[in-house]
Structure 1
Amino acid sequence: MRDHSEAEFRRKLVVCSERAAQFSKAETLPESLSLEKIDQVVEWCYQHNWLDDTRFAERYLAGRSRKGYGPQRIRIELGQKGIDKNLIDETLTASEIDWSKQAFDLAERKFSLPFPTEWKEKSRVQRYLMTKDFFTEDIRAIFANFDD
Protein backbone atom coordinates (compact mmCIF):
# COMPACT_ATOMS: atom_id res chain seq x y z
CA MET A 1 0.00 0.00 0.00
CA ARG A 2 1.40 3.41 -0.92
CA ASP A 3 1.16 6.79 0.75
CA HIS A 4 -1.44 9.29 -0.40
CA SER A 5 -1.56 13.04 -0.22
CA GLU A 6 -4.41 14.63 1.70
CA ALA A 7 -6.04 15.81 -1.53
CA GLU A 8 -5.84 12.32 -3.07
CA PHE A 9 -7.28 10.76 0.08
CA ARG A 10 -10.18 13.24 0.18
CA ARG A 11 -10.97 12.56 -3.50
CA LYS A 12 -10.96 8.82 -2.87
CA LEU A 13 -13.28 9.16 0.10
CA VAL A 14 -15.74 11.24 -1.92
CA VAL A 15 -15.65 8.85 -4.89
CA CYS A 16 -16.07 5.75 -2.71
CA SER A 17 -18.88 7.40 -0.79
CA GLU A 18 -20.72 8.37 -3.98
CA ARG A 19 -20.18 4.95 -5.52
CA ALA A 20 -21.47 3.18 -2.41
CA ALA A 21 -24.55 5.39 -2.33
CA GLN A 22 -25.17 4.85 -6.03
CA PHE A 23 -25.03 1.06 -5.93
CA SER A 24 -26.41 0.54 -2.46
CA LYS A 25 -29.96 -0.68 -2.18
CA ALA A 26 -29.64 -1.55 1.48
CA GLU A 27 -31.13 0.92 3.90
CA THR A 28 -28.30 0.49 6.40
CA LEU A 29 -25.66 2.27 4.30
CA PRO A 30 -25.55 6.06 4.34
CA GLU A 31 -26.23 7.84 1.08
CA SER A 32 -22.87 9.58 1.11
CA LEU A 33 -20.31 10.90 3.54
CA SER A 34 -20.75 14.50 4.50
CA LEU A 35 -17.81 16.87 4.15
CA GLU A 36 -17.77 17.11 7.94
CA LYS A 37 -17.32 13.33 8.25
CA ILE A 38 -14.56 13.39 5.63
CA ASP A 39 -12.80 16.14 7.60
CA GLN A 40 -13.05 13.98 10.74
CA VAL A 41 -11.59 10.96 8.95
CA VAL A 42 -8.72 13.04 7.55
CA GLU A 43 -8.03 14.56 10.99
CA TRP A 44 -8.02 11.09 12.55
CA CYS A 45 -5.52 9.91 9.92
CA TYR A 46 -3.25 12.88 10.68
CA GLN A 47 -3.44 12.21 14.43
CA HIS A 48 -2.43 8.58 13.90
CA ASN A 49 0.35 9.54 11.49
CA TRP A 50 -1.29 7.82 8.53
CA LEU A 51 -1.40 10.98 6.45
CA ASP A 52 1.55 13.33 6.01
CA ASP A 53 2.00 15.41 2.86
CA THR A 54 5.68 16.04 3.65
CA ARG A 55 6.42 12.33 3.95
CA PHE A 56 4.37 11.65 0.83
CA ALA A 57 6.29 14.27 -1.18
CA GLU A 58 9.68 12.94 -0.03
CA ARG A 59 8.81 9.34 -0.85
CA TYR A 60 7.24 10.28 -4.17
CA LEU A 61 10.34 12.28 -5.11
CA ALA A 62 12.64 9.41 -4.19
CA GLY A 63 10.58 6.84 -6.11
CA ARG A 64 10.13 8.87 -9.27
CA SER A 65 13.76 9.98 -9.38
CA ARG A 66 14.85 6.32 -9.07
CA LYS A 67 12.66 5.56 -12.08
CA GLY A 68 14.53 8.17 -14.11
CA TYR A 69 12.22 11.18 -14.03
CA GLY A 70 13.57 14.70 -13.80
CA PRO A 71 12.69 17.45 -11.34
CA GLN A 72 10.29 19.25 -13.66
CA ARG A 73 8.14 16.14 -14.17
CA ILE A 74 8.13 15.34 -10.47
CA ARG A 75 7.16 18.92 -9.61
CA ILE A 76 4.17 18.75 -11.99
CA GLU A 77 3.05 15.35 -10.73
CA LEU A 78 3.21 16.42 -7.08
CA GLY A 79 1.12 19.47 -7.95
CA GLN A 80 -1.45 17.22 -9.63
CA LYS A 81 -1.59 15.13 -6.47
CA GLY A 82 -2.58 18.20 -4.45
CA ILE A 83 0.73 19.01 -2.77
CA ASP A 84 1.27 22.69 -1.95
CA LYS A 85 3.76 24.50 -4.22
CA ASN A 86 5.84 25.67 -1.25
CA LEU A 87 6.10 22.12 0.07
CA ILE A 88 7.13 20.91 -3.40
CA ASP A 89 9.86 23.56 -3.55
CA GLU A 90 11.08 22.69 -0.04
CA THR A 91 11.14 18.97 -0.84
CA LEU A 92 13.06 19.42 -4.09
CA THR A 93 15.52 21.82 -2.45
CA ALA A 94 16.05 19.60 0.60
CA SER A 95 16.63 16.50 -1.49
CA GLU A 96 20.25 15.64 -2.01
CA ILE A 97 19.68 14.40 -5.52
CA ASP A 98 22.33 15.37 -8.04
CA TRP A 99 20.12 15.82 -11.10
CA SER A 100 23.10 16.05 -13.47
CA LYS A 101 24.32 12.67 -12.23
CA GLN A 102 20.79 11.27 -12.49
CA ALA A 103 20.59 12.43 -16.12
CA PHE A 104 24.05 10.99 -16.83
CA ASP A 105 23.18 7.61 -15.28
CA LEU A 106 19.90 7.44 -17.19
CA ALA A 107 21.60 8.30 -20.48
CA GLU A 108 24.34 5.76 -19.77
CA ARG A 109 21.75 3.01 -19.17
CA LYS A 110 19.85 3.88 -22.33
CA PHE A 111 22.70 4.66 -24.74
CA SER A 112 25.86 3.26 -23.06
CA LEU A 113 29.28 4.89 -23.06
CA PRO A 114 31.01 6.56 -24.80
CA PHE A 115 28.38 9.18 -25.50
CA PRO A 116 28.14 10.31 -29.10
CA THR A 117 29.94 13.42 -30.26
CA GLU A 118 28.16 13.62 -33.59
CA TRP A 119 25.34 16.17 -33.55
CA LYS A 120 22.59 13.84 -34.77
CA GLU A 121 23.26 11.15 -32.17
CA LYS A 122 23.89 13.72 -29.46
CA SER A 123 20.50 15.29 -30.11
CA ARG A 124 18.89 11.86 -29.71
CA VAL A 125 20.30 11.59 -26.18
CA GLN A 126 19.21 15.15 -25.40
CA ARG A 127 15.67 14.58 -26.68
CA TYR A 128 15.35 11.44 -24.58
CA LEU A 129 16.40 13.27 -21.42
CA MET A 130 14.06 16.15 -22.25
CA THR A 131 11.14 13.71 -22.40
CA LYS A 132 12.06 12.74 -18.83
CA ASP A 133 11.86 16.46 -17.90
CA PHE A 134 15.43 17.14 -16.88
CA PHE A 135 16.60 20.74 -16.97
CA THR A 136 18.61 21.80 -20.00
CA GLU A 137 21.62 22.65 -17.80
CA ASP A 138 21.68 19.10 -16.44
CA ILE A 139 21.50 17.67 -19.95
CA ARG A 140 24.29 19.93 -21.19
CA ALA A 141 26.45 18.98 -18.21
CA ILE A 142 26.55 15.41 -19.51
CA PHE A 143 28.39 16.50 -22.64
CA ALA A 144 30.60 19.09 -20.93
CA ASN A 145 33.57 16.71 -20.71
CA PHE A 146 33.33 15.64 -24.33
CA ASP A 147 34.64 17.49 -27.36
CA ASP A 148 31.96 18.68 -29.77
Structure 2
Amino acid sequence: MPNPPPSLRQRALALLARREHSRLELQRKLKPHAEEDMELDQLLDDFEQRGWLSDARFAESWAHSRAARYGGARLKAELRTKGVAADAIDAALDPLQGSETERAREVWRRKFGTPPADARERARQLRFLAARGFSMEAIYTVVGGDMDET
Protein backbone atom coordinates (compact mmCIF):
# COMPACT_ATOMS: atom_id res chain seq x y z
CA MET A 1 0.00 0.00 0.00
CA PRO A 2 1.55 3.35 -1.06
CA ASN A 3 2.15 6.10 1.47
CA PRO A 4 -0.23 9.07 1.36
CA PRO A 5 1.24 12.26 -0.11
CA PRO A 6 2.79 14.62 2.45
CA SER A 7 0.52 17.30 3.87
CA LEU A 8 1.01 20.95 3.04
CA ARG A 9 2.48 21.49 6.51
CA GLN A 10 4.94 18.61 6.06
CA ARG A 11 6.03 19.98 2.68
CA ALA A 12 6.57 23.44 4.15
CA LEU A 13 8.58 22.10 7.08
CA ALA A 14 10.72 19.98 4.75
CA LEU A 15 11.51 23.03 2.61
CA LEU A 16 12.34 25.17 5.64
CA ALA A 17 14.52 22.42 7.09
CA ARG A 18 16.80 22.65 4.04
CA ARG A 19 17.25 26.46 4.05
CA GLU A 20 15.53 29.73 4.86
CA HIS A 21 12.80 30.83 2.44
CA SER A 22 10.96 34.10 1.98
CA ARG A 23 7.22 33.99 2.39
CA LEU A 24 6.68 34.57 -1.34
CA GLU A 25 9.17 31.89 -2.28
CA LEU A 26 7.55 29.32 0.02
CA GLN A 27 4.11 30.32 -1.18
CA ARG A 28 5.13 29.75 -4.82
CA LYS A 29 6.57 26.34 -4.03
CA LEU A 30 3.55 25.18 -2.02
CA LYS A 31 0.77 26.66 -4.18
CA PRO A 32 0.51 23.63 -6.53
CA HIS A 33 -0.05 21.41 -3.48
CA ALA A 34 -2.64 23.60 -1.73
CA GLU A 35 -6.31 22.93 -2.21
CA GLU A 36 -7.24 26.51 -1.29
CA ASP A 37 -5.29 29.76 -1.20
CA MET A 38 -6.72 30.54 2.21
CA GLU A 39 -5.34 27.27 3.61
CA LEU A 40 -1.86 28.20 2.39
CA ASP A 41 -2.10 31.75 3.75
CA GLN A 42 -3.16 30.44 7.17
CA LEU A 43 -0.26 27.99 7.24
CA LEU A 44 2.26 30.69 6.32
CA ASP A 45 0.76 33.07 8.91
CA ASP A 46 1.08 30.34 11.54
CA PHE A 47 4.71 29.70 10.58
CA GLU A 48 5.49 33.44 10.82
CA GLN A 49 3.84 33.69 14.25
CA ARG A 50 5.90 30.74 15.49
CA GLY A 51 9.08 32.30 14.10
CA TRP A 52 9.70 29.46 11.66
CA LEU A 53 9.30 31.74 8.64
CA SER A 54 10.94 35.16 8.57
CA ASP A 55 11.64 37.38 5.58
CA ALA A 56 14.20 39.33 7.61
CA ARG A 57 16.08 36.16 8.54
CA PHE A 58 15.88 34.94 4.95
CA ALA A 59 17.24 38.25 3.63
CA GLU A 60 20.16 38.15 6.06
CA SER A 61 20.97 34.54 5.19
CA TRP A 62 20.67 35.13 1.44
CA ALA A 63 22.81 38.26 1.52
CA HIS A 64 25.48 36.58 3.64
CA SER A 65 25.70 33.53 1.37
CA ARG A 66 26.01 35.57 -1.84
CA ALA A 67 27.95 38.63 -0.64
CA ALA A 68 31.34 37.19 -1.58
CA ARG A 69 30.34 37.09 -5.27
CA TYR A 70 27.93 39.99 -5.75
CA GLY A 71 27.56 43.67 -4.94
CA GLY A 72 24.81 45.40 -3.04
CA ALA A 73 22.76 46.36 -6.10
CA ARG A 74 22.55 42.77 -7.33
CA LEU A 75 21.72 41.41 -3.87
CA LYS A 76 19.00 44.05 -3.46
CA ALA A 77 17.45 43.16 -6.82
CA GLU A 78 17.51 39.44 -6.04
CA LEU A 79 15.86 39.95 -2.66
CA ARG A 80 13.16 42.12 -4.26
CA THR A 81 12.32 39.29 -6.68
CA LYS A 82 12.05 36.95 -3.69
CA GLY A 83 9.32 39.19 -2.26
CA VAL A 84 11.28 40.65 0.65
CA ALA A 85 10.16 44.06 1.94
CA ALA A 86 12.44 47.06 1.42
CA ASP A 87 13.10 47.58 5.14
CA ALA A 88 14.19 43.95 5.58
CA ILE A 89 16.46 44.27 2.52
CA ASP A 90 18.05 47.44 3.88
CA ALA A 91 18.59 45.83 7.28
CA ALA A 92 20.23 42.77 5.70
CA LEU A 93 22.48 44.74 3.34
CA ASP A 94 23.48 47.53 5.73
CA PRO A 95 26.32 45.53 7.38
CA LEU A 96 27.78 44.75 3.93
CA GLN A 97 28.12 48.36 2.74
CA GLY A 98 31.51 48.88 4.37
CA SER A 99 33.00 45.83 2.66
CA GLU A 100 31.78 46.51 -0.88
CA THR A 101 35.20 47.60 -2.19
CA GLU A 102 37.00 44.66 -0.58
CA ARG A 103 34.44 42.20 -1.94
CA ALA A 104 34.71 43.76 -5.42
CA ARG A 105 38.50 43.54 -5.22
CA GLU A 106 38.35 39.83 -4.33
CA VAL A 107 35.92 39.07 -7.19
CA TRP A 108 38.14 41.05 -9.59
CA ARG A 109 41.29 39.27 -8.34
CA ARG A 110 39.77 35.81 -8.87
CA LYS A 111 38.58 36.69 -12.38
CA PHE A 112 41.40 38.89 -13.70
CA GLY A 113 44.23 39.30 -11.20
CA THR A 114 46.18 41.82 -13.26
CA PRO A 115 45.48 45.46 -14.09
CA PRO A 116 44.02 46.13 -17.53
CA ALA A 117 46.61 46.55 -20.29
CA ASP A 118 44.51 48.87 -22.44
CA ALA A 119 41.22 50.77 -22.51
CA ARG A 120 39.34 47.85 -24.04
CA GLU A 121 40.40 45.46 -21.29
CA ARG A 122 39.65 48.11 -18.67
CA ALA A 123 36.13 48.52 -20.05
CA ARG A 124 35.69 44.74 -19.96
CA GLN A 125 36.71 44.59 -16.30
CA LEU A 126 34.45 47.53 -15.43
CA ARG A 127 31.48 45.87 -17.15
CA PHE A 128 32.14 42.57 -15.37
CA LEU A 129 32.05 44.17 -11.92
CA ALA A 130 29.04 46.30 -12.82
CA ALA A 131 27.15 43.19 -13.92
CA ARG A 132 27.94 41.68 -10.53
CA GLY A 133 26.13 44.60 -8.90
CA PHE A 134 29.02 46.47 -7.33
CA SER A 135 28.82 50.24 -6.89
CA MET A 136 30.61 52.45 -9.41
CA GLU A 137 32.77 53.86 -6.62
CA ALA A 138 33.96 50.36 -5.66
CA ILE A 139 34.47 49.38 -9.31
CA TYR A 140 36.65 52.39 -10.12
CA THR A 141 38.60 51.95 -6.90
CA VAL A 142 39.37 48.33 -7.78
CA VAL A 143 40.03 48.64 -11.51
CA GLY A 144 41.71 52.01 -11.18
CA GLY A 145 41.24 55.28 -12.94
CA ASP A 146 38.98 58.24 -12.59
CA MET A 147 35.20 57.85 -12.63
CA ASP A 148 34.94 60.71 -15.16
CA GLU A 149 37.01 58.91 -17.81
CA THR A 150 34.19 56.80 -19.21
Q: Which runs of 5+ in 1 are unaligned?
A: 18-31
Structure 1 residue 97: deviation in Å?
A: 5.1
1: CA distance between counterparts of 2:37 and 2:121? 57
Match of 1:39 among 6, 30, 41: 41
More helix by share: 2
| TM-score, normalised via structure 1 length | 0.77
Cα gap change, 1:137/1:16 in structure 2, threshold over 3 Å: closer, same or farther? same
AA in 2 matched with 1:64: R
Distance 1:142 1:14, change over 3 A: same
What aligned pairs does 1:68-147 form with structure 2 within 5 A after superposition?
Answer: 68-95=69-96, 98-113=99-114, 115-144=115-144
Structure 2: give runs of 5+ residues left out of the alignment. 1-17
Matched position secondary structure for 2:87: helix
| Aligned amino acid, residue 140 of structure 2 | R
Percent identity (aligned): 31
For the pair shown, which has the larger CA radius of gyration, 1 or 2? 1
Q: Which amino acid aligns with 2:54?
A: D
**Preserved CA contact (<8 Å) 2:104 2:138:** yes
RMSD: 2.2
| Among 19, 35, 42, the residue aligned to 1:2 | 19
In 2: Cα distance, 1:105 partner to 1:97 partner? 14
Cα deviation, residue 145, structure 1: 8.1
What SS does structure 2 have at the residue aligned with 1:98? helix
User: Which residue of structure 2 lines up, in the alignment, with residue 60 of structure 1?
Assistant: 62
Give 1:41 shift: 0.9
Length, aligned pairs only: 130
- The code of the aligned residue for 1:103 comes to A
Greater RCO (Cα-Cα under 8 Å, separation 6 or more): 1
Using the alignment, how far apart are the partners of 1:118 and 1:5 within structure 2?
44
